[in-house]
Amino acid sequence: MKKLTKFFLVCCSVLASVPILADTAESAGRSDLNLRQGVTDISQQVYDLHMLMFWICVGIAVIVFGVMFVSIIRHRKSRGVKPANFHESVKVEIAWTVAPFIILVLMAIPAAQTLIAMEDTSESDLTILVTGSQWKWEYKYMDSGINYFSNLATQREQINNKFAKGENYLLEVDRPLVIPTGQKVRFLITSDDVIHSWWVPDFAVKKDANPGFINEAWTMVNEPGVYRGQCAELCGKDHGFMPIVVIAKSPDDYAMWRDEKLEAIAQAQAEEERLLAMNMSMDDLMENGQKVYMAKCAACHMPNGEGLPGVFPAIKGSNIALNDQPKHIDILLNGVTGTAMQSFSKQLTLSEIAAVITYQRNAWGNNTGDVVQAKDIHAVANGN
């Protein structure tokens, strides 16, 4: 039985060495073994609670397993031990019912204090509406009205092992959320379709995005930096591919970013107006449309337009893509209620929608020859 004892000793020492290893990794800013301390006062408190719990559990394990192993080593038949015959002791049993209870009360007090602080979303400086949808996040700054979608930026070729994987593989987005440091930022969290969960480990914030309901969370980041997280609730096929990136900037830098962003939005609107009056060539539409399709549509309808039978419908050879152009535009603009097809009117510009519809009506043998322009979309969107 030496083997058994030895193995368990190894187990125990592995368990005990966890925080030691974690300490060395932390100097590099992030741990591959342990919870991270994060960059907010709350995340630090959570980390401290975690370590407190961990050490209490290690203590309990050492005592219980220690007694057990002493017994396994000493009280064995092969050593000629005669068994004792005791089988109850009210005193001992009361002791080991009451003692754990006291330990629990001691744990519960700091846990409750941290919990109350975490759930106090009052007196925030900035409110951001976070909306999950399959499989991207939308951020809306309630004060300035800045509103944009944040998509996975990792190339498909990296996921399919054709290109080498980058440093932030699966943890990079096209447009990160930007927040100021030192200010209390309140998040209103909801969803457009299924349940998602918005999680940034460095803030110790994880809150479900429930369709039709709004949850609240908050953070106050101490240090500028880039913080990465992921969706934490199974939300369908690409659940593993909807990361979160938050950039915390000093209040001055944040204000600068906000002004630039507002200006860029104004410019984009002007550009949109200009494009409305223009007719684009078929080649331009197809080229632009393919880009949009690969970025927004291919996850479900597949790069070859054939969809996933039984899950996501094919566009290749579909009646709507071949014959019913008004319906096609309507679906892109408004989505299809009761299905995974979402509205793209906020995610894409009119010219992008025009391009992708043209692409869908002419790619993969859907050779309708239809050319759809931004003004056609504009007409449908405004009901004429």
Partner 1 sequence: MSTATDTLEHDAHHDDHHHGPAKGIKRWLFTTNHKDIGTLYLWFSFIMFLTGGAMAMVIRAELFQPGLQIVDPNFFNQMTTVHGLIMVFGAVMPAFTGLANWLIPMMIGAPDMALPRMNNWSFWILPFAFAILISSLFLPGGGPAFGWTFYAPLSTTYSTDSTALFVFSVHIMGISSIMGAINVVVTIWNMRAPGMTWMKMPMFVWTWLITAFLLIAVMPVLAGVVTMVLTDKYFGTSFFDAAGGGDPVMFQHIFWFFGHPEVYIMILPAFGIISHIIPTFARKPLFGYASMVYATASIALLSFIVWAHHMFTTGMPVAAEMFFMFATMLISVPTGVKVFNWVATMWRGSMTFEVPMLFAIAFVVLFTIGGLSGLMLAITPVDFQYHDTYFVVAHFHYVLVSGAVFSIMAAAYYWLPKWTGVMFDTTLAKWHFWCSLISVNLLFFPMHFVGLAGMPRRIPDYALQFADFNQWISVGGFAFGLSQLIFLALLIKACRHKGEPVSDQVWDGAEGLEWEIPSPAPYHTFDTPPVVK
Q: Is 314 in the site for partner 1 (CB under 8 A)?
A: no
Q: Is 81 in the site for partner 1 (CB under 8 A)?
A: yes
**383 Ramachandran zone, left/alpha/beta (phi>0; psi -120 to 50):** left
Tracing tokens 């009506």 back to the chain, one arrives at 361
Question: Cβ closer to partner 1: 289 or 305?
Answer: 305
Q: Is 9 in the site for partner 1 (CB under 8 A)?
A: no
Q: Is 13 in the site for partner 1 (CB under 8 A)?
A: no
Within residues 248-307, the interface with partner 1 by CB under 8 A covers: none
Overall size of the chain counted in residues: 384
* CB of 310 vs partner 1, minimal distance in Å: 2
Question: Cβ closer to partner 1: 84 or 277?
Answer: 84
Q: Is 53 in the site for partner 1 (CB under 8 A)?
A: yes
Is residue 135 reached through a cis peptide bond, with omega within 30 degrees of 0 on the bond before it? yes
Q: Long-range contacts for 49-53 (Cβ within 8 Å, ≥24 apart)?
A: 49/110, 49/111, 49/114, 51/19, 52/107, 52/110, 53/107
Distance CA 184, CA 201 (A): 17
Cα–Cα nearest to 177, from 233, 93, 248, 105: 248
Q: What mask, x for binding partner 1 by CB under 8 A, covers residues 112 to 131?
A: x-xxx-xx------------
Question: Cβ closer to partner 1: 148 or 198?
Answer: 198
Q: Which of 57, 256, 266, 268 binds partner 1 (CB under 8 A)?
A: 57
Within residues 148-207, the interface with partner 1 by CB under 8 A covers: 158-161, 165, 167-171, 189, 193-195, 197, 199, 201, 204-207
Q: Is 310 in the site for partner 1 (CB under 8 A)?
A: yes
* CB of 334 vs partner 1, minimal distance in Å: 15
Tracing tokens 């976070």 back to the chain, one arrives at 130
Distance CA 258, CA 248 (A): 13
Tracing tokens 């744990």 back to the chain, one arrives at 107
Contact by Cβ (8 Å): 193, 343: no
Sole window of 61-69, 175-183, 267-275, 284-292 interacting with partner 1 (rule: CB under 8 A): 61-69
Q: Is 54 in the site for partner 1 (CB under 8 A)?
A: yes
Question: Cβ closer to partner 1: 103 or 255?
Answer: 103
